[in-house]
Structure 1
Amino acid sequence: MPELIKSFAWDAFVLFFYAQVVGLDGYRIGLAVAVILVFDAIVDPYIGALSDRMDRAPLGRRHTLMAAAILPFVIGIMMVFRPPAGMEGWATFAWLLGFGLLARVGISFWTVPAYAMGGELTRDAGLRNIVAVMRNMGNQLAVLTVPWIAFSYFFVATPDFAKPQLNPAHYPGFGLFVALLGGTLMLVGWFGTRPHMRRVEAADRSITRDSQIETLPALFRRLFAAIRTTPNIGRLLLVGMLVLFTTSVVNQLSLHLATYFWQLDPGSTQRLLIAGVTGSIVAMFLAPYWIRLVGTRTAMVSGLIVYFVVQVAAILLPLLGLAPPPATVAIGIFVFVFRMLGGLAYGLYVVPFNTVTYDIGDEHEANTGQPQQGLVASFMFIGLQVGSGLVALMAGSFLGIIDFPAGVPVDAVPTAKVDALAWFVVTLIVVAGGAMAWLVGTFDVSAEKQAAIRAKLAEMRGSGG
């Protein structure tokens, strides 16, 4: 939950806030966010490997790092949304870079071990589907609160700001809300999972390496060796990158499109931001049945294809004049329906994908004889961070290239610049989406293979390694 709250608040608001409200140029925004996310991607595998090896830590190999993450995240995300008044240029860049690093890297110390823990709570395939559904249901419910509260209590229209997301006064309170909500959920998750994980870690201790810290070069040599040993890990990294690349295109530029392309009112903007989450919540109930009906790989591919089609259609049809005009009630309904369908499709993809991630962790453990859920989770998050960083760099740079105006009324922004931004989004979704749908289809995750892996793990654990 905390990771999704952070990701939603970051993707939906940071680029828009710094570009259109603070007035920082797109090149520097893209550079700052890209540096943050690439650095985070470098740190993530180190966190995962460290978490796998920390059996002697006082709070356990997962929960020690999770506890250390809470305060840095709370401070970092709160301060990202409150740069001092009058700050400009490189000083603003440094503010975003510094506190962004604190927030993003800080929460990685929570997310990587927490995600790895999901694969250790149970080895049963059916129960893992339930864990994946519960994880994603909790994520979606938590994320649902962010845009709902944002546009109900913080981003409220005033006579001076008909589009309240352009009002700088609203952002500090919003940042504090995100920080407190995320921090509270981190504490709840920590205390809720600690008793069970103490038993799991005690049982695994005989096949876990002694706690030690590797150098980064040694760690990355181990990561590349892991790809050679278990090729599915390499596929997981690439899929993670393409997944967040595509979703980040949608999320990071949603407020730009809502404000300037569709020209939605505050209520429609709020519904736009919760539409995908609403669809994903519905999908959580349908996903286990869909997986049993068509299989894991087909469930992932079909969900992705529908997701890409509806996300592109929500932008392409208005561009072609085949949708209601902007700034109307009808366009708000149109966009909401397409985004909700996209969320439904994405949910039908993400549940089997989470299950596959756990299964790949088991596969690598069977290949190496060591618990590897933390390492495998870190691979996925490398891809996620790199994908999001590429979008931030490209989106910020594109806003700079087309000299997208900041600090001017919506109707003063040239239509050609707005349309150029819309075509940019469509192009990125089509290219990344096609590549990801093909790549997911190459996963080797048959039920027979996973049954053999679980049998081997049971034998290893029964013999103590």
Structure 2
Amino acid sequence: MAQNSSGVSERLPFKTKLAFGVGSGAESIALFSVGSYAMLYYNQVLGLEAHLAGLAISASLFLDGISDPLVGSLSDRTKSRWGRRHIYMFFAPIPIVLSLWAVFNPPDGLGTWALFSWFAVTVVMLRQSMTFYHTPHLALGSELSRDYTERSKVMSYNSFFTWAGAAATTWIALSYFFQATPEYPRGLLNPEPYGPFSVIMGGIALALLAASAWFTRDRIPHLPKPPENLPKYSPFEFFKDIGKAFNNINYVWLLVAYFFLSMMIGLRGGLHLYTNTYYWHLGSEQIRFFVIGSFAGYLSAFLFAAMLHGRFDKKATIIVSAIVYALAPSIPILVGFAGALTPQTPNLLAILIAFSVLSYGAASVLSISIMSALADIADENELKFGLRQEGVLYSTRALFAKVDQAIGAALAGFVLTLIAFPTKAKVGEVPAEVIWNLALWDGILAGVPGFIAVFFYARYKITRASYEETKAALAARRAAGLAPQATAVSAAVDVPEPLVPPTAPRPAE
């Protein structure tokens, strides 16, 4: 079993990876509960105007995006007996759960602006509380192992359990809380289940968040620690941390690529339900079976992503999975344009689900690969600056994701307006030209930003060989007894050749 320079095994026990993954699932349960049901609850059940409900959610995302890198930098610089990450993971779950409960339990009799204020404040509190768990937790995942492929396995657990949390929330909500009744044939419009729903989901999330922190605490002695001479957190030091992150050209390429990828995700996310409903003529009972495709895709990525990294390297895996992710959703529509696939095609749903397996699998492999690659970038930055920046690296990427997906969602609304898609449209009554334009945008044009992302992913330079050089230089530094020293930002944009102490052997070229 491989070991690092300190003699600690680089292969993690199953318990640790499972506990880390469970935390990702718990985050997904809390955020998905609000993201999927709060808008409908406040708009259709409580009567808050849609634009006000949307404004509350937008404000929470905006403020959340700003706080992500702030908390990331704070976490990177934290010194405590519980390490840099766990101190936050132990204290964040209580405010997360209280905020989740508060979102779905506003006081009775609130007027419009009071109800809007309650929703805005509670959803902001939820996302801010979650930032203090999510950012350190994700950074922890990249620190658990220094092995090139083992950290990919850790991120496989992150990806799979994030999906599992959202899927479980949907299943529990629709199966046990929002069932149809004689008074409410559409169960989601029944106001009574929302309170109990928030209590149960909050309880599950609390147990899993706490379990993830508790059952990974034994790794604290083995995790990287901030340099002794590292200044305390301050606004000035925060901007220095951001500067160091952007000083790494590999990180910049991944962020630029993610900008275009998120634009594709937001655009397709806004249009895909329209395409399934009006182009393929699928009902909601059929659309729900796409969960089979997502499960198969995420499970495949969970099982094989690290294997792909071991055989083909992360860069090649990133490029290929990004191409497949951009292309796979387009293939059924291209075949439909050719007349070979229509709403009347036998087994149409099975065919579409098969392509969704390919799409979800590629998306999950890509996510795992990027998350693992960010840990490799953290190694480069540790060598160059004497500081591991997992918190800043992951949280700044999260900021980009929230901004970019908001742009993509806005583009989806613009496209629907551009093609003159009618309101309250009925299947089979929308003009053929409008349906054709809808499919063109969702199936073809939405993929263009994805292929632009591929171009920038291809400029990412870290390979297994360069990673091993960086790892060897860091190990040599530790073996020579040289503690990492925080340094100022260099003017260079590429990571320099590893600086190895004169008494230590140089890494193999």
TM bin, normalised by shorter chain, reads 0.7 to 0.9
TM-score (norm 1): 0.82
Partner of 2:161: 138
Query: Does 2:393 align with 1:376?
Result: yes
Distance of 1:23 and 1:332 partners within structure 2 = 36
For 2:241, give the aligned amino acid: R
Give the gaps of 5 or more residues in structure 2. 1-23, 485-509
Query: Does 2:218 align with 1:212?
Result: no
Q: Deviations over 1:249-284 (max 9, x none)?
A: 455666666667656555434322453233111222
- Aligned with residue 286 of structure 1, among 304, 309, 321: 304
Q: CA deviation at 1:193?
A: 0.9
- Aligned with residue 36 of structure 1, among 60, 77, 93: 60
Give the gaps of 5 or more residues in structure 1. none
Cα–Cα, structure 1 residues 108 and 392, in superposed 2: closer, same or farther, change >3 Å? farther
For 2:140, give the aligned amino acid: M
- Aligned with residue 453 of structure 1, among 449, 458, 470: 470
Distance of 2:191 and 2:349 partners within structure 1 = 24
Contact 1:45/1:382 (<8 A) preserved: yes
Cα RMSD after superposing both structures? 3.9
Distance of 2:139 and 2:340 partners within structure 1 = 45
Cα–Cα, structure 1 residues 75 and 290, in superposed 2: closer, same or farther, change >3 Å? same
Cα–Cα, structure 1 residues 208 and 452, in superposed 2: closer, same or farther, change >3 Å? farther
Distance of 1:141 and 1:67 partners within structure 2 = 22
Query: Does 2:243 align with 1:224?
Result: yes
Contact 2:231/2:237 (<8 A) preserved: no
Distance of 2:218 and 2:421 partners within structure 1 = 54
> Aligned with 1:415: secondary structure?
coil
Q: CA deviation at 1:361?
A: 0.9
> Aligned with 2:82: secondary structure?
coil
- Aligned with residue 53 of structure 1, among 77, 100, 109: 77
Contact 1:249/1:425 (<8 A) preserved: yes
Partner of 2:504: none
Distance of 1:8 and 1:87 partners within structure 2 = 25
Cα–Cα, structure 1 residues 430 and 161, in superposed 2: closer, same or farther, change >3 Å? farther
CA radius of gyration, larger in = 2
Cα–Cα, structure 1 residues 102 and 442, in superposed 2: closer, same or farther, change >3 Å? same
Contact 1:66/1:114 (<8 A) preserved: yes
Cα–Cα, structure 1 residues 220 and 423, in superposed 2: closer, same or farther, change >3 Å? farther
Distance of 2:200 and 2:115 partners within structure 1 = 22
Partner of 2:430: 415
Partner of 1:437: 454
Cα–Cα, structure 1 residues 426 and 368, in superposed 2: closer, same or farther, change >3 Å? same
Distance of 1:43 and 1:429 partners within structure 2 = 30
Q: CA deviation at 1:352?
A: 1.8
Query: Does 2:308 align with 1:308?
Result: no
Cα–Cα, structure 1 residues 162 and 325, in superposed 2: closer, same or farther, change >3 Å? farther
**Structure with more contact order per residue of length (Cα contacts < 8 Å, sep ≥ 6):** 1
Cα–Cα, structure 1 residues 272 and 221, in superposed 2: closer, same or farther, change >3 Å? same
More helix by share: 1
Partner of 2:222: 200
Q: Which moves more between the two structures, 330-339 or 88-97?
A: 88-97
Q: Which moves more between the two structures, 77-86 or 183-192?
A: 77-86
Distance of 2:244 and 2:322 partners within structure 1 = 29
Q: CA deviation at 1:104?
A: 1.8
Distance of 1:183 and 1:404 partners within structure 2 = 43
Contact 2:293/2:353 (<8 A) preserved: yes
Distance of 1:292 and 1:182 partners within structure 2 = 34
Distance of 1:355 and 1:69 partners within structure 2 = 25
Partner of 1:297: 315
Contact 2:266/2:412 (<8 A) preserved: no
Distance of 2:195 and 2:238 partners within structure 1 = 39
For 2:239, give the aligned amino acid: F
Q: CA deviation at 1:432?
A: 2.8
Partner of 1:108: 131
Cα–Cα, structure 1 residues 373 and 307, in superposed 2: closer, same or farther, change >3 Å? same
Cα–Cα, structure 1 residues 321 and 35, in superposed 2: closer, same or farther, change >3 Å? farther
Q: Deviations over 1:385-410 (max 9, x none)?
A: 222333455556777997975xx7x7
Cα–Cα, structure 1 residues 106 and 79, in superposed 2: closer, same or farther, change >3 Å? same
Distance of 2:182 and 2:332 partners within structure 1 = 30
Contact 1:241/1:385 (<8 A) preserved: no
Q: Deviations over 1:414-446 (max 9, x none)?
A: 736995776665577324312222221111111
Partner of 1:74: 97
Q: CA deviation at 1:375?
A: 1.8
> Aligned with 2:92: secondary structure?
helix
Q: Deviations over 1:169-210 (max 9, x none)?
A: 66555444443333222111110111211x124x635x2555
TM-score (norm 2): 0.75
- Aligned with residue 65 of structure 1, among 82, 85, 88: 88
> Aligned with 1:204: secondary structure?
coil
